[in-house]
């Protein structure tokens, strides 16, 4: 049994969730904004395997100052119910669609880094390609070491920097058909690796037209084991231990 280190569980319907949870030991259920945090909290109260993370997804318009303050207050109130701050980060894909000023997003992310540090919780990061170095700067500035870059993609220089800092990454099912992700698995130490689905986000290749669910992580694990020259059992053991230790499960 595996742990899904990053899933948007609150986006699945009530009938799907118990079935999906039969496939895993635990899930790290991340949140998008306040109403999403509230549903994630309810799910973590209903199902023991659901470990909640509270945050604000960066690929959306920013909140008003009062709504942002309400979100931060809410997170502080429920801090004992969460294993991490997340999902937070920078709006890489939004920026490909429209010209935008990044600075307010960086400032918001910095407030989340400070909050995670203050509450002594790990942080779940959406930060790919050139955004990853901006995020590394922020983490270093605040001496925040408990960082998980989910579905990470980036160049060799930032990969090297993240390995030196001991940051974690997680691998998605697209490693079956994306050479870029296979190269990342090759470069990154398995001791700093987790597996995830980012469900209900959908995948291609053998997963075309399939509802994303944690069983897909078994295929991910086969790819990791083969690239790292390990048995599937060995790779599964290391990755599960990594996830348990990182999220203190």
Question: Which residues contribute to the site for Zn ion (CB under 5 A)?
Answer: 87, 198
Q: Minimal distance in Å, beta carbon 29 to Zn ion?
A: 10
Question: How far apart, in whole angstroms, are the C-alpha atoms of residue 222 and residue 195?
Answer: 11
Residue number with CB closer to Zn ion (10 or 198)? 198
Residue number with CB closer to Zn ion (5 or 236)? 5
- How much of the chain is in helix, strand and coil states, percent to nearest 5? 55, 15, 30
Contact 79, 121 (CB under 8 A): yes
Residue number with CB closer to Zn ion (50 or 238)? 50
Residue number with CB closer to Zn ion (87 or 174)? 87
Spatial neighbors of 31 by CB under 8 A, at least 6 apart, are 10, 37, 39, 40, 52, 53, 54, 55, 56, 57, 86, 87
Q: Minimal distance in Å, beta carbon 233 to Zn ion?
A: 28
Residue number with CB closer to Zn ion (174 or 198)? 198
Phi and psi of 125, rounded to 5°? -115, 135
Q: Minimal distance in Å, beta carbon 6 to Zn ion?
A: 6
Q: Minimal distance in Å, beta carbon 39 to Zn ion?
A: 15
Cis peptide preceding 87, ω within 30 of 0: yes
Cis peptide preceding 200, ω within 30 of 0: yes
DSSP assigned state of 120 = T
Helix (H, G, I), strand (E, B) or coil at 144: coil
Q: Minimal distance in Å, beta carbon 86 to Zn ion?
A: 8
Phi and psi of 50, rounded to 5°? -90, 115
Residue number with CB closer to Zn ion (124 or 238)? 124
Q: Minimal distance in Å, beta carbon 232 to Zn ion?
A: 25
Tokens matching residue 209: 């037209």
């Amino acid at each position: 049994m595996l742990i899904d280190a990053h899933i948007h569980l609150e986006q699945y319907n009530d009938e799907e969730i118990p079935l999906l949870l039969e496939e895993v030991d635990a899930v790290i259920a991340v949140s998008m904004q306040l109403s999403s945090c509230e549903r994630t909290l309810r799910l973590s109260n209903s199902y023991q395997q659901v470990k909640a993370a509270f945050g604000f997804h960066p690929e959306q318009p920013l909140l008003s100052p009062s709504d942002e303050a309400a979100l931060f207050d809410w997170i502080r109130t429920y801090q004992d119910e969460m294993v991490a701050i997340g999902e937070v980060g920078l709006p890489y894909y939004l920026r490909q669609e429209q010209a935008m000023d990044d600075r307010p997003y960086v400032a918001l992310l910095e407030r989340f880094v400070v909050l995670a540090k203050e509450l002594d919780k790990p942080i779940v990061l959406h930060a790919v390609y050139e955004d990853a170095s901006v995020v590394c700067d922020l983490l270093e500035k605040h001496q925040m070491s408990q960082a998980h870059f989910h579905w990470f993609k980036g160049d060799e220089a930032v990969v090297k920097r993240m390995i030196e800092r001991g940051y974690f990454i997680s691998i998605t099912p697209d490693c079956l058909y994306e050479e870029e992700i296979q190269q990342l698995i090759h470069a990154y130490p398995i001791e700093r690796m987790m597996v995830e689905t980012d469900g209900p986000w959908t995948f291609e290749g053998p997963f075309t037209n399939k509802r994303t669910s944690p069983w897909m992580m078994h295929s991910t694990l086969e790819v990791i084991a083969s690239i790292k020259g390990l048995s599937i059992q060995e790779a599964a053991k290391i990755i599960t231990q990594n996830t348990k230790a990182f999220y203190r499960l």
